[in-house]
Amino acid sequence: MTETRPSEPTVFVLYGATGDLAARLVLPAFFRLAQEDLLPEQWVLVGNGRGDVSHLDFAEHVGEVLEEFGPKPGEGPWEEFRTRLRFAGGGFSSDDPGSLLDVLEEAERELGGSPQRIHYLAVPPSAFEGLTEALGKHGLAEGARVVYEKPYGTSMESFERLDAAVHEVWQEDQVFRIDHFLGKEATQDLHVARFANRLLSEVWSAEHVAQVQIDVPETLDVADRVEFYDETGATLDMLVTHLFQLAAEVAMEPPVSMGADDLQEARETVIDAFRPLDPSEVVLGQFEGYQDIEGVEEGSRTDTYVAARLWVDTGRWHGVPFLLRTGKQLAQSAQRVSLVLKDSDELVSGVPAQGNVLTFDLSGDGAIEVSMVLKRPGADDVVETATSTLPLCSVPAADPLPAYVRLILDVLRGDRSLFTRPDGLRHVWEVAAPLLDARPDPLPYARGSWGPAEADALAAPGSWLLGA
């Protein structure tokens, strides 16, 4: 077990510090750690960017970010927090480090000794290679840690190029590749609840499970990130990242231990057993009006929706379809992993289809739901499905952390349990290759719908639990 609070003095360098990702997720997560007293006693956060911004102006910017996205400065130790903020302008490249080296030297002198360095690349994936090369050239990698955001490449070729560039500079145990779905409270309970409860572990196989549904519909539009989205789409943004990783969490074999290395090994090993996608078992969609959005290329074939049937070729999951679905401008926002148990109607008649379901709700603080076929109380022998929900925030002494907060805390601790490895990512691209090589045309669907009706056939003989 690790200590709750990291103890090592730390300089946290945030590249892209004035950008959208830093504003929406990274800076709020860092302030939440300060609220929870989960930062080291001694730390400095150095923002890096192209502009020429003073330390004071950067602190003001961070305050404005927290006012917009929370936690608000008034809800935490803001006055002390702001004194730890620095800014290094002029960008950072192999040819020109800007002012970063000078600001780092000043920050490390202030902390004393040789503090831990953490480099967080909150920048577009196209900037990963250049920044990685610069970190190596300017001697900032030795003994440090580095955090990369997804997508980690956009194809097998780009993944391999980036992976080679990363390992030119870093040892694998220094690298933290964030997939924030792995940091969600309910995702962590996918393996904890399973391995700590024989009732669940005994049904976790093809003998009892008819299908697994991993469903992440979104009501959101793409207008705030249209340039990025039109280059990636739902398949690259969600399927080969979040949804495949969630499928691995469900499908993995029991690890040797719950330690970081063994959990990673179990997760990445089962990805190797994912069968390459059959394009005939994938439905792509594009919501009506997408091509009218400013910034979308004329005639764009970008998919804003993807539904796929994935097969896991292990003895445990032979013949069980993993149904994966996500998309923009859908009828409802949700983040759910559901194990649909096989129907048992040998003795009881009138059993509802898909009546027994175990669901992990990943949204918010997370919840576990159990849907079960029961006798409806009353004079007649009628069966119905009833659902009981356990909000994870109701667990005694619960203090749930948002995904980014938990993952940044793990980076500070040096715990890689909830981060991806390159072997698993390489397998992901192998699984996706048939689809990426022969993408079907995206089908139109109405905003506020459940996407193209053609995706309903993927769930047959059952149906999608949401929108049924």
**Does the annotation flag 50 for ligand binding?**
yes
**Does the annotation flag 342 for ligand binding?**
no
- The C-alpha atoms of residue 65 and residue 71 are separated, in whole angstroms, by 9
Q: Please measure the distance between the N-terminal and C-terminal CA atoms of the chain and give it in whole angstroms.
A: 43
**Does the annotation flag 179 for ligand binding?**
no
Give the H or E element holding residue 43: strand 43-48
Phi then psi for 254, rounded to 5 degrees? -55, 130
Query: Which CB contacts under 8 angstroms, 24+ apart, belong to 252-258?
Result: 252/191, 253/314, 253/316, 254/195, 254/201, 255/191, 258/191, 258/195
Set 61, 119, 191, 242: catalytic member: 242
**Does the annotation flag 237 for ligand binding?**
yes
Helix, strand, or coil (residue 368): strand
Judge contact between 325 and 309, C-beta under 8 A.
no
Q: Can 242 be counted among the known catalytic residues?
A: yes
**Does the annotation flag 375 for ligand binding?**
no
Judge contact between 240 and 151, C-beta under 8 A.
yes
**Does the annotation flag 138 for ligand binding?**
no
Question: Helices 422-437 and 244-251: crossing angle, nearest 10°?
Answer: 120
Neighbours of 389 (CB within 10 A): 12
Helix, strand, or coil (residue 293): coil
**Does the annotation flag 137 for ligand binding?**
no
- Binding annotation: 50, 150, 180, 184, 218, 237, 328
> Active-site residues: which are they?
242
- Binding annotation for NADP(+): 50, 150
- Binding annotation for substrate: 180, 184, 218, 237, 328
